[in-house]
Amino acid sequence: MSSNLPSPERLTLTLATQLVQFARVNWVTQTGSTNADLMSHHDLSVGQSELLGTHLQTAGRGRAGRVWHNAPDQSLTFSCGFETDLKPLELNGLSLAFGVGACEALRAQCPTDQVDRLKLKWPNDLMFDHGKLAGILVETQINAKRIRIVVGMGMNLTHAQELGDTLGRQVAASNDIFALDHEMLVTLIRNVAASWHDIIFNYAQKGFLTFKRRFTHLDYLKNQPVEVLQHQNRLFEGIAQGIDSQGALLISHDQSITAVTVGDISVRLQK
């Protein structure tokens, strides 16, 4: 059984007690993908939500179908599913809003001298210094009168150097920032999930502008030289200039500004 995380049974019981706004909370030892599992559920009513976490995810994915690498006891993986009556046009910026909520929840638990080292890389990668700490995947399923939204997060707990060597890039892990005690991890899960719940069920009223302002203080790419890629092919390069009112990333290049939207596009700092 994992030593970094409480047992699945304890997590299920504790989180269900603390997240009363969720209709269903469950934590399991192993599954293929918590996002895929929740996308397959169809028994929630509009306005209801559920959480599913796992100690080990064997078929996890990131944006654009990228593989999420994890091993037993080395990552924290959970997803939240929301049955909503949002309209498709109301989803603009939602992916970035979830990233803002998660980043703020983690920052609230950071030691004071570490807070500014934890930032959000557009649209929703959590970075500690220049290493990726966590990734967020948002998926939607549109039906006639409702939209199911599933948001999942995978966060590295330990073995940053080992994982970084495997992937060939910088990686960060939670044990570089926090003391990985069980109470802290339960609080982190609860606060991130509660933030997402608040975002999804107030988003239509609040809109994205609130998150645009909050993102400004978290922006990892701000004023940095970046490359824009699609399927690993470089499209262009420029300087990141924050985001617009819809959550698109603004990049100045060739004496103009291009707005980059979430999809198969990825952005990275120039090497």
SS3 104: helix
70-86 mean pLDDT: 87
Report the Cα 8 to chain-centroid distance in Å. Answer: 21
Helix (H, G, I), strand (E, B) or coil at 152: strand
Mean pLDDT of 7-30: 97
> What is the distance between the alpha carbons of residues 26 and 145, in angstroms, rounded to a whole number?
27
Q: Write the pLDDT tens digit of every residue in 251-265.
A: 999 889 999 987 767
Question: For residue 232, is pLDDT > 90?
Answer: no
Per-residue pLDDT, averaged over 213-226, amounts to 95
**Domains located in the chain, CATH noted:** 8-214 (3.30.930.10), 221-269 (2.30.30.100)
DSSP assignment, residue 66? P
Q: What pLDDT, on a 0 to 100 scale, did the predictor assign at position 230?
A: 84
Backbone angles phi, psi at 48, to 5 degrees: -95, 160
pLDDT of residue 71: 66
Q: So what's the pLDDT on residue 141?
A: 93
CB-CB contact of 221 with 121 (8 Å): yes
Residue 1's pLDDT is what?
A: 40
Query: Strands of 125-128's sheet, edge to edge?
Result: 24-31, 49-57, 75-84, 147-156, 131-142, 125-128, 118-121
Give 69's strand partners.
none
The Cβ-side half-sphere exposure at 136, using a 13 Å CA radius, reads 27
Helices and strands (H and E) in the chain: how many = 6, 12
What SS3 class is residue 132?
strand
In tens, the pLDDT along 109-156 reads 999 999 999 999 998 899 999 999 999 999 999 987 899 999 999 999
